Every structure is written in structure tokens, then in C-alpha cells.
Amino acid sequence: DQQVKQNSPSLRVQEGRISILNCDYTNSMFDYFLWYKKYPAEGPTFLISISSIKDKNEDGRFTVFLNKSAKHLSLHIVPSQPGDSAVYFCAARYYGGSQGNLIFGKGTKLSVKP
Amino acid sequence: EAGVTQSPTHLIKTRGQQATLRCSPISGHTSVYWYQQALGLGLQFLLWYDEGEERNRGNFPPRFSGRQFPNYSSELNVNALELEDSALYLCASSLVVGHYGYTFGSGTRLTVV
């Protein structure tokens, strides 16, 4: 049973436009959410995060929105650039009991065309 | 500051053999995590070590095991290799699972033939 779901395997966007990547989760005990970016042949790199007590966090061109009632978060990239082309992973943390590891979605491959 | 380093970069093994993958965390990081990225399956959590002890493991058979050494480096062992074990194995480290999440290494590409 997937606790973190990224239902779109791929997304194509024109350079300069907005990219919106979506993520749904099922576990209401998650208290922290993160986005990672992964280029081929490299490990994922941290991009941006949000605590469950907030509904928005912004860092430059990247904004993450959290809708707790819908158990949904999204990553907005404005404006999109060709260098943003990568696989984006949504991850969630349940910090309690014996767990402490991040649970990842399957990723969305973003392609930004010039 | 050196990042998370993993070795070897690539590993080819025959079905039934054993594979050993190594990870050196960022200096000062005590937690090490192992993930498997098989084709089309995203990152699947394997193991979490902290201060030399196994803290949690994912839904993988016991032939996936590992350990963490006193210097916080870690080893992942996969026994009785099966073809479906072919994947990218990623190691990550953190001080704690904090606001900035993990720092990942570049991974070991394991191919079982």
C-alpha cells in the first residue's frame, strides 16, 4: 500500500511557464514533507520542504503548497527552465515510534522544453 | 565538505552470489539510510542505521542485511542474489531526519545476471 503517491509519471512544460507537480498521501501522521530532484546517474538532492503546520513554503522559483484536509501537496516551479528537467520525488516523514525514515513517491519526470 | 560516498559505482554479480555495497556518510552524520530504486518503482526504503544500531527496515526479505561501523560508515549485504535485485542502491545520511532531509550519495548500480 503506497502511502505517498505521485500519479503523474511525466510532465512536459514549455520554458518560462509554470510547472505543477502533485503528490497525495494517505497517512495523517506525516508531519513533514519534502521534495527531491534527481538527475540521471546522480543521487536525489533536497529541494524544498514544508512542515505539516504550514500550508505554503517558498524558496526562489520553487513553492510547495500543502492541503492537509485533502492530504495533497504540490510543487510549483515558476518560471520553468530547461535545467529543471529531472525526476522529482515527493517524500514524507512520520517521526514517531520506530520510524524515522522518509517515504518516497515513485517520482514525476519533468521535461522543460526551450 | 565531502558528500556521501558509495562504492563501488557499478557491480555485476551472478544469480545466487552475494553483493556487498559500502557507504561513507557525511562527517558528523550518525544516521545512514539505504534505499533501492528499481526500474519504475521509485525509492523503496531498505534499512536505517543510527549510532551503530538498526532502527528500522523496510519490506524486504532477510537476505538484505547490513551494519553500521563505529565510524558511522555502513555496509549493505544482499545474499542469494536474484535477477530482480538489479537496481540502483542509494545511501543517504543525516544528523537526524530534520528539516533538510537526507543527503544522498550517487548510488551503486547492481546488475544481477
Question: Which chain A residues are within 8 Å of B103, Cβ to Cβ?
Answer: 46
CA B101 – CA B79 distance, rounded (Å): 30
| Contact in structure between B29 and B95 (CB atoms under 8 Å) | yes
Given a cut of 90, whether residue A100 has pLDDT beyond it is no
Question: Grid cell 542505521 — which residue?
Answer: B49
Gap from A98 CA to chain B (nearest CA, Å): 6
Question: Which chain B residues are within 8 Å of A98, Cβ to Cβ?
Answer: 55-56
- In Å, how far are A37, A38, A73, B6, B7 from A83, measured between CA atoms? 11, 12, 23, 26, 28
CA B3 – CA B24 distance, rounded (Å): 8
CA A91 – CA A78 distance, rounded (Å): 21
Greater pLDDT, A2 or A113: A113
Suggest the residue from A32, A89, A101, A103 to mutate for an interface test with chain B (most B CBs closer than 10 A): A101
Given a cut of 90, whether residue B73 has pLDDT beyond it is yes
B1-47 tens-digit pLDDT: 679 999 999 999 999 999 999 999 999 888 899 999 998 778 898 99
pLDDT range class, residue B102, cuts 50, 70, 90: confident
Q: Domain B5-112: give its CATH superfamily.
A: Immunoglobulins (2.60.40.10)
**Residue B52 is placed in which grid cell?**
551503530
**Backbone phi, psi, residue A82, to 5°:** -55, -35
Q: Contact A100/B101, CB-based, under 8 Å?
A: no
Residue B63 CA neighbour count, 13 Å, CB half: 10
Question: Which chain B residues are within 8 Å of A51, Cβ to Cβ?
Answer: 99
> Starting at the edge strand that comes first in sequence, how are the strands of the sheet with B5-7 ordered?
B5-7, B19-24, B74-78, B64-68
Q: What CATH number should be reported for the domain whose range is A4-113?
A: 2.60.40.10
CA B90 – CA A55 distance, rounded (Å): 30
CA A92 – CA B69 distance, rounded (Å): 27
Q: Contact B101/A102, CB-based, under 8 Å?
A: yes
Average pLDDT along chain A: 92
State residue A98's pLDDT score: 47
Q: Give the helix/strand (H/E) hosting A14.
A: strand A10-14
Angle at B9 between CA B84 and CA A4, to 5 degrees: 55
What is the domain partition of chain A in residue ranges?
4-113
Helix, strand, or coil (residue A48):
strand
